[in-house]
Structure 1
Amino acid sequence: MASTLALFLSLLAGQTCAHTFIWGVFVNSVDQGTNKGVRIPAYNGQNGKGGYNNSPVKDLDSIDMRCNVMGDVQAHDTIRVAPGDNLTFDWHHEIRNDTDDVIASSHHGPSLIYISPDPPTENSFVKIWHEGKYESNPFPQAGKWSTTSDIAKNFGHMNVRVPEGLKAGYYLIRAEMIGLHEGDVSWKANPRRGAQFYADCVQIEVTGEGTIKLPEGVSFPGAYSYSDPGVVHNIYCSTETAKPKTSTTPCVTDYIIPGPTVWSGAWPQTTPVSVGPVTGATTATPWSTWIGTDSVVTSVTFVDVKSQTVVGSEKYTATWSEVYETPSATAARW
């Protein structure tokens, strides 16, 4: 059993891949602190427990599409902003500095940002920014995509501005990157493949005297479907080169970003801003060092082939509140 557990932990450590999540937020170029206001996906935890669970969500019908695994659990604090403020979301793979690869170079796809009142309700997420494929290249080049040629090349920085005149209150910002490297077929048709959704939510409090309310938006889950051309898309646009052939997707060069159009009340243009130094931790503790002590494993199951013994699996059911509660500074993630 000990050897099985050791193998399990080694497999978990090896699952980091070059995936990604938000490590921090800059407001008008000033870092608010590592993890502050960010609903970090499960296995990572807060208060120094660390970890590398930056795995994607692939099931479009899962509640995890909203704010990732355990996205209903509040962060310990909320970031105060004002309408017009520049927000820079700092995406990284396994270390929070400019040497990090941010996301695998193969994980081409779009980037999107939504805003919703906190807590979210049905059809409350409003899109305020997106970017998809902005340059096409001949096969076998995938073209230039937001995730790999913009966000990753700019040290993981994704920029947006708080909508002008937005009414004061508590909001969730849902920022997302989508990896389409296996998106030539839907996850529903082939669970070994399918588009990969990396979504994180950030808690903000908008201040000021604004009067503009958000319009009706979309729900997560529900905003995307497996029939969307932006969800099932062959980024390499080829049906002949794979051996054995894995794609029968027609060669489509245009790309339609999934979800609704960008809200007319969003800033028409979002430009990169220079950011200051990072405040707080820049590395995460590998979860193999603490899993099984005070952690909650939510969605990984490892079955030992010989004994057929399940090791380290636990089910977590998200429960989203309909009433806003101020986060407690002493709240525990686990």
Structure 2
Amino acid sequence: MRISSTVVAIAALLPSALAHYRFTSFIAGSTTTGAYQYVRQNSNYNSPVTDVKSSDFTCNAGAKLGTNTQTYTVAAGSTVGFALDQQVFHPGPYIAYLGQAPSSVTDLNSWDGSGANWFKIYQRPLTYSSNGPNWEMLSSVTFKLPTKIASGLYLLRIEHIALHSATTYPGAQFYISCAQIKVTGGSGGSPSKVSIPGVYTGSEPGIKVNIYYPILTSYTYPGPAVYS
């Protein structure tokens, strides 16, 4: 779906409760799993995280650890993703990270994602019109896992950065969820890794930005390059 800057500006004035959304279900190939079956359930309900330095920034508030969350086994290179409980209503980009659990971890429910274990595997491409970026208001987002990764246990983290009030920091809203997956058939690889929180400062041009004026002719994604 394409949306003009005028429509987005009007949408930003609507009551915030109407615009909030959560990534609740893991997608593997053509299968959409049950809500919070493989995705850690947070206690944030329909509210976003705004502090990029908070421990809530890893997997959202209340999702520091899993609570009887199942782990989905999926092959490296497979198409995976997340479905939402309602359609995204705020303008902004979609980004995905993988966090590799230490070898000592045998149950992902017990790992909080701490340490420099994360690498970016996806950022949804943008197209542009005379009104600026064509922000897509999706009800699901899918992408492929890299093939050159080690087999093992991972947290798969999805992030939608809502930019309707991002002219100051804090202002951008981060809608975050983590799925628990076990990757098989990986061929190894050495991605550069970051910590989450720690990957952003909040002052990046992709986080602190006025998306309405002047009209954007480009958008700079925050964080590291996509590992491929």
Which TM-score band (shorter chain)?
Answer: 0.7 to 0.9
What is the rounded CA distance, in whole Å, between the counterparts of 2:51 and 2:219 in structure 1?
Answer: 21
In the superposition, relative to structure 1, how do residues 214 and 117 fare at CA in structure 2: closer, same or farther (>3 Å)? Answer: farther
Mapping of 1:139-154 within 5 angstroms? 143-146=133-136, 148=137, 152=138
In the superposition, relative to structure 1, how do residues 16 and 214 fare at CA in structure 2: closer, same or farther (>3 Å)? Answer: farther
Post-superposition offset of 1:15: 6.6
Report SS of the residue matched to 1:64: helix
Post-superposition offset of 1:74: 0.7
- 1:103 aligns with 88
What is the rounded CA distance, in whole Å, between the counterparts of 1:219 and 1:123 in structure 2?
Answer: 4
What is the rounded CA distance, in whole Å, between the counterparts of 2:148 and 2:196 in structure 1?
Answer: 25
- 1:92 aligns with 85
* 2:116 pairs with one of 102, 119, 123: 123
1:66-103: per-residue Cα shift (whole Å, max 9, x none)?
1100221214211110112111310223xxxxxxxx12
- From the two aligned structures, give the one with the greater strand fraction: 2
Post-superposition offset of 1:213: 4.2
- 2:209 aligns with 233
In the superposition, relative to structure 1, how do residues 79 and 16 fare at CA in structure 2: closer, same or farther (>3 Å)? Answer: farther
C-alpha RMSD of matched pairs (Å):
2.0
1:301-321: per-residue Cα shift (whole Å, max 9, x none)?
xxxxxxxxxxxxxxxxxxxxx
Q: In 1, are the aligned partners of 2:114 and 2:196 still within 8 Å (CA)?
A: no
Unaligned runs of 5+ in 2: 1-14, 102-110
Q: In 2, are the aligned partners of 1:89 and 1:159 still within 8 Å (CA)?
A: yes
- 2:66 aligns with 74
Report SS of the residue matched to 2:57: helix
Q: In 2, are the aligned partners of 1:37 and 1:75 still within 8 Å (CA)?
A: no
**Equivalent AA in structure 2 for residue 145 of structure 1:** W
In the superposition, relative to structure 1, how do residues 259 and 165 fare at CA in structure 2: closer, same or farther (>3 Å)? Answer: closer
Post-superposition offset of 1:165: 4.3
- 1:176 aligns with 159
* 1:63 pairs with one of 51, 55, 59: 55
- 1:254 aligns with 218
- 1:29 aligns with 30
1:166-200: per-residue Cα shift (whole Å, max 9, x none)?
3221100010101000011111xxxxxx1000111
In the superposition, relative to structure 1, how do residues 182 and 15 fare at CA in structure 2: closer, same or farther (>3 Å)? Answer: closer
The reply on whether 1:205 has 2:190 as its aligned counterpart is no
Q: In 1, are the aligned partners of 2:27 and 2:142 still within 8 Å (CA)?
A: no
Report SS of the residue matched to 1:39: coil
1:240-266: per-residue Cα shift (whole Å, max 9, x none)?
xxxxxxxxxxx65321011111012xx
Higher alpha-carbon deviation: 160-169 or 217-226:
160-169
Higher alpha-carbon deviation: 255-264 or 210-219:
210-219
The alignment's TM-score, normalised by the length of structure 2, stands at 0.81
Unaligned runs of 5+ in 1: 1-13, 44-52, 94-101, 188-193, 239-250, 265-334
1:24-67: per-residue Cα shift (whole Å, max 9, x none)?
12211022322211012215xxxxxxxxx121100121111111
Post-superposition offset of 1:145: 1.6
- 2:3 aligns with none
Q: In 2, are the aligned partners of 1:22 and 1:40 still within 8 Å (CA)?
A: no
**Equivalent AA in structure 2 for residue 68 of structure 1:** N
- Higher alpha-carbon Rg: 1
The alignment's TM-score, normalised by the length of structure 1, stands at 0.57
What is the rounded CA distance, in whole Å, between the counterparts of 2:58 and 2:114 in structure 1?
Answer: 11
What is the rounded CA distance, in whole Å, between the counterparts of 1:27 and 1:132 in structure 2?
Answer: 21
Post-superposition offset of 1:132: 5.4
What is the rounded CA distance, in whole Å, between the counterparts of 2:128 and 2:47 in structure 1?
Answer: 27
Report SS of the residue matched to 2:58: helix
What is the rounded CA distance, in whole Å, between the counterparts of 2:19 and 2:216 in structure 1?
Answer: 27
